[in-house]
Amino acid sequence: MKCPHCGNELKDGYLICEQCGEEIRIVPDFEPEIENSITGTLSTLAALQDGEDTQEISQTNEGAEEEDITEQDGPLEDGRKIWMMVSLVIIFVVALVTYSTYAYHIRTVDYQITKAKEYAADESYAEAIACLESAYENYPDEAGLLFLEADYYYLQQDNDSAVNVLYRIIDRGDFSYEDLEEAYNKIITIYANQGLYGQINELLRSCPESGIVSMFQSYLAMEPEFSYVEGSYAEVIPLKLSSNTAGTIYYTMDGSKPTKSSQVYTAPLFLETGEYTISAFFVNDYGIESDIVSKTYIINLSVPNAPEVDLYSGEYTEPTMIAVEGIEGCQIYYTTDESEPTQDSVPYTGPIPMPLGKTLFKFVNISEEGVPSEVTTRTYTLTLRDAIPTTQAVSNLVERLVEIGYLEDAEGHNKRQSGTLSYQFSSVLRIGNADDYYTIYEYYDDGTGMLSRTDKVFLVQVHTGEAAQLGYDTKGEFVAVVI
C-alpha cells in the first residue's frame, strides 16, 4: 500500500508514513452492489449529457433554412428539455441517497466489527484495530468495540496495550455494571497470567464497586481488622485480628514495626492492665502485603488485694484448718505443687485441712475482669505425735469394711457393683475438741482403670486406728460415726 500523501511504499501493519509522517486512515472497500449502483448512475448522467451536446450541435448546423420547422416543433422541444431536467434531478437524488446510504452503512458498528473480524482472520490486527477505533469515535458508548480491540492486542501479546484499552472502560465511569465487571475480569486475568499480583491488589483497592471487589477477594490484601476500637478500657479485652481472605497476620505489641519475622497471629490477644500499641499487617496467599495498621489500648483495671491467710507459716503438731479471707467480686484459687495459681487452679471454697508433712500453699485473688492479685505464700509442716502411719490407717479401714460385709475381700469387690472399690488418704481432721482422724476417700473402678470418687468419706482415728464414717450432727458439725 502507498501513502496517499507522498506516494511512499508503506510497510505492512504501519499506520504512519515514514517518509512524510502523515497518519494513514484505512477506508474499507465499497460493497460491490453499492459500487455498481453508483457507477451505473454516473454512466447514465454522462450519456444524457452527451445526448444533449449532440442535439445542440445538430441544431446549429441546420441553419436558417430549418428555422420554420424548429419554430413549429418548439413546444415539443421544450417538453423534451423539461423531461431531461427532471430526469437529471431524479438521477442526482438517487445517486445522493445511494451514496448517503453507503456512507452511513460503512460507519455502523456492525459493519466495522465485521470488517475488523475479517482483518483479524487474516492476522492483520493493525487494520482490525484501526476499524474499531474509527467506529469508537462515532459510537463512544459501545464498550464492545473496546473489548474486541483489547482482545486483538492480547492476541498480539501486547498486554500493556490491551490493559490500557480496558482501563478506558473503567476510567469512563459511565458504562454499565456488566461492562465494568468484564473489564476488571479481563485485566485481572492478564495480570494473573503474568504473576503481577501487586497490580491486581492496587486495581481492586481503587475499585468503587464492592460487588466486583468481593468477586476477586482472594487477590486482595487489606489491612487487618481489630475487634476493638482503640482507646481506654476498664476491663481485660480479648483483642481479635481478622483478615479479608486466606493468609497470615503478623503483629507486635510494643509499637515496633512488624515484619514477616514477627509473631504470627493465631488466637485472641488478652490485654490486661497497662498500655499496648498493637501493630499488624496481612500477607495473602499470593504474597501481597497490606499496609501496616496500629492501634493503642490503655487498660485501667483495679488490682485486687492479695488473699489474707490467718494461719502463719510454721511447724504444727495438731490438725489445723487453713482459712483464707475472701474479697467481694473476687475468687480465691490455690496450689500445693509449687506452681503459680491461676483461674485453672483449685478454687478455695472453705477452710482447708492442713496436710501431713511439709506443704507449700500459694493463694491468689482473681477479679471478675480476670485481673490477678499478688500471690500469698504459706509453708506448713504438720507432724502428729504417736500417730499410726497413713498406710496402716487405710489397711485398718479395708479390714473393717470386710468384717461388716461392705466388701467381699481386701481387693475391693462387693456384691452391689461389678467393679472394685479402693481407698486413699486425704488429710487430717479434728472432730470435737481432741479427736483427730485421718480422712480417707472412696473411689470406684469400673474395670477401665478410671477412678471416680464416691460420696462416702471414711475416718480412722490417728492414734487408735479405729474406723468410722464422716457424718454431721443437727448443727451441721462434723461427727465420727463408728462402723
The closest alpha carbon to 358, from 341, 383, 340, belongs to 383
Task: Compute the distance between CA of residue 168 and CA of residue 163 in angstroms, rounded to an integer.
Answer: 9
Q: What is the pLDDT of residues 167-191, one digit of tens each?
A: 999 998 888 999 999 999 999 999 9
174: left (phi over 0), alpha (psi -120 to 50) or beta: alpha
Task: Compute the distance between CA of residue 194 and CA of residue 163 in angstroms, rounded to an integer.
Answer: 12
User: What is the full DSSP assignment across 205-234?
Assistant: HT---HHHHHHTGGG--PPPEESS-SEEES
Global pTM reads 0.47
The confidence band for 359, taking pLDDT boundaries of 50, 70 and 90, is: very high
Classify the C-alpha dihedral 217-220-221-225 as positive or negative: negative
The beta strands (E) that lie in 168-287 are given as 225-226, 231-233, 237-239, 241-242, 247-252, 263-264, 269-271, 274-284
Quick check: helix, strand or coil at residue 341? coil
Q: What is the pLDDT of residues 387-425, one digit of tens each?
A: 999 999 999 999 999 999 999 999 999 888 889 999 999
The closest alpha carbon to 483, from 387, 386, 398, 426, belongs to 398
Q: Average pLDDT of the chain?
A: 83
The residue to which cell 430526469 is assigned:
87
Q: Is the pLDDT of residue 231 over 80?
A: yes
In DSSP terms, 319 is beta-bridged to: none
Phi, psi of 31, deg, nearest 5? -65, 140
The confidence band for 40, taking pLDDT boundaries of 50, 70 and 90, is: low
Quick check: helix, strand or coil at residue 398? helix
Q: What is the pLDDT of residues 286-325, one digit of tens each?
A: 999 999 999 999 998 888 999 999 899 999 999 999 999 9
